[in-house]
Amino acid sequence: MSEEAQLAPLAPVPASESNAGESNVGDSGLGGFDASASSHEPAEAFAAPALLSSYRAHDSLFSSSHTQLHARGVLQPLTRASDDDLAGASERLLAQVAAEAGRLPLLGAVPFEGGQPARLWVPAQAAFAAGRARHRGAVHGEARHADRIEPNVQPVPAPAQFKRNVERSLQRIHDGGLRKVVMSRSLRIDARVEVAQLLAQLLARAPSAYTFAMDLAGAGGPAACLIGSSPELLLSKRGARIVSNPLAGSIPRSADPHEDRRRAEGLLQSAKDLHEHALVIEDVAAALRPFCRELQVPAAPSLLATPTMWHLSTRVDGVLRDPATSSLRLALALHPTPAVCGYPTEPARRTIRELEGYDRGLFTGLVGWCDSEGDGEWAVTIRCALVEEHRATVFAGAGIVAGSQPEAELAETTAKLRTMLGAMGLAHVAEAEGRA
């Protein structure tokens, strides 16, 4: 589509019903497929650049196996806190934009803490592509970080303090009133990270993940990009149908195939991890049930593999009573799940505030998009980094329940940090900091 071409209306649809094409809304210039082509033509019929090919500095992207969204510029920011009727404000904003500028989506991220401002916005330009139109430019091969010297790394909290936090969490669980809490840690790395290169690495390494790069400056945030590759779907909605796919209970993968399979099979039999997973699924089902006339919750979890971890996974499917309910409203009803906070929620949140030693910000919040019909996808903001001009901060957490071991939980966070550090060419940093 040339820059002078008439732009098609926004119409993100399920991959099973769509072509592999891209449709554009707003000003032209994002490039992409001719959205006027027949929806029954095969993907091979389209020969225009995919979304990553058009990416440039300060753009934003969200990619899943169903949909890719590429956005540029800010038409209208939305920085209300989730505790301050963020869902209602988003619905009113999308309705206003639809009446004045067309069906542009809302995208961005919502923080872990309900009282902190969201970083959401309606972009000036947006292009959607169906799931079969995967990003060109995603590259395999060794990742390299931009700086030639070894970067300075500040762990917050330090590994020894993280293990003490786990011990204190276990004591609170033993004392009663708390059944699970998620303890996390971060690494602040003084290094220049090229967002476009990192994004390409993430898409290549985990193409089925929820990969995102959200430029925060235009939505009242810092001059930084929130970038990551989350394995966990908080909530997706298409029409009346919704899906949530919580993950809880994890073990690091092994390079040895036999050991890797042994770990996976052991995770499926682990009483500790099955208990942790059940707490999350019960809470997610309870939150969604008031919105749904049908809700399907499998009796037992399955395994989900990422390049670095095995997870216990349960896909929850539902049919809404009111199809107009927005995906963001539903996602906020779930947030924070016990997978990233704990159970019960408020005692877990208090424990996190008292023990963790840093502000999570957008980590363990939600990231994604929603359109004026309420359709959208929201992932849990994990396996991510906040990339600034000369610094990158990476994050990882682990669920603490009765039976957790501090050393094992530290090892789990180290394995999770490898997702981002490996894509940055800094995988050795995780190992070094995990031994500190």
31: pLDDT strictly greater than 70: no
Residue 213: what residue type? Answer: A
Residue 176: what residue type? Answer: G
Q: Of 28-32, 78-82, 284-288, 417-421, where does mean pLDDT reach its minimum? A: 28-32
Kindly indicate the confidence band of residue 370, based on its pLDDT and cuts at 50, 70 and 90: very high
Kindly indicate the confidence band of residue 435, based on its pLDDT and cuts at 50, 70 and 90: low
Residue 37: what residue type? Answer: A
Residue 420: what residue type? Answer: M
CA distance 217 to 135: 24
Q: Rounded mean pLDDT of 51-59?
A: 81
* Contact by Cβ (8 Å): 301, 340: no
Q: Which of 22, 91, 180, 377 is catalytic?
A: 180
Determine what percent of the chain is predicted with pLDDT higher than 90: 74
298: pLDDT strictly greater than 70: yes
110: pLDDT strictly greater than 90: yes
40: pLDDT strictly greater than 50: no
**Quick one: pLDDT at residue 391?**
95
Beta strands 384-387 and 125-130 are unpaired
**Quick one: pLDDT at residue 113?**
97
Q: Rounded mean pLDDT of 205-213?
A: 92
13: pLDDT strictly greater than 60: no
* Tokens found for residue 105: 């989506």
237: pLDDT strictly greater than 80: yes
H or E stretch at 62: strand 60-63
CA distance 206 to 280: 24
Q: Rounded mean pLDDT of 301-308?
A: 94
154: pLDDT strictly greater than 70: yes
Determine what percent of the chain is predicted with pLDDT higher than 70: 82
**Quick one: pLDDT at residue 219?**
85
382: pLDDT strictly greater than 60: yes
Which regions of 239-383 does DSSP assign to beta strands (E)?
241-245, 247-252, 292-296, 302-305, 309-313, 316-320, 342-343, 366-370, 376-380
Q: Of 12-21, 144-153, 286-295, where does mean pLDDT reach its minimum? A: 12-21
State how far the alpha carbon of 335 is from the alpha carbons of 118, 198, 205, 211, 366, in Å.
13, 28, 27, 19, 8
What are the residues facing 106 on neighbouring strands? 370
In this predicted model, what pLDDT tens digit does every residue of 116-136 receive, in sequence order?
999 999 999 999 887 655 555
Q: Which of 246, 262, 217 is nearest to 79 (CA)?
A: 217
Q: Considering the chain, what is the average pLDDT of its residues? A: 86
| Residues across the chain | 436
**Quick one: pLDDT at residue 143?**
59
Q: Which of 22, 91, 113, 232 is catalytic?
A: 232
Active site residue 232: yes
CA distance 363 to 348: 16
**Quick one: pLDDT at residue 53?**
73
Kindly indicate the confidence band of residue 102, based on its pLDDT and cuts at 50, 70 and 90: confident
DSSP category for residue 20: S
3-state secondary structure of 277: helix
Q: Of 80-94, 153-167, 197-211, where does mean pLDDT reach its minimum? A: 197-211
Structure-model confidence comparison of residues 307 and 237, the more confident one: 237
Q: How many CA atoms lie within 13 A of 403 on its CB side?
A: 9
Kindly indicate the confidence band of residue 139, based on its pLDDT and cuts at 50, 70 and 90: low
Q: How many CA atoms lie within 13 A of 123 on its CB side?
A: 29
**For the packed helices 159-175 and 427-435, what is the interaxial angle rounded to 10 degrees?**
60
48: pLDDT strictly greater than 50: no
429: pLDDT strictly greater than 90: no
**Quick one: pLDDT at residue 228?**
98
Cβ neighbours for 429, distance < 8 A, ≥ 6 positions apart: 151, 153, 187, 189, 417, 421
User: Concatenated DSSP letters for 143-207?
Assistant: ---S-SSPPEEEEES-HHHHHHHHHHHHHHHHHSS-SEEEEEEEEEEE----HHHHHHHHHHH-T
Q: Which of 63, 54, 60 is nearest to 75 (CA)?
A: 60
Kindly indicate the confidence band of residue 23, based on its pLDDT and cuts at 50, 70 and 90: low
In this predicted model, what pLDDT tens digit does every residue of 329-347 receive, in sequence order?
999 999 999 999 999 999 9
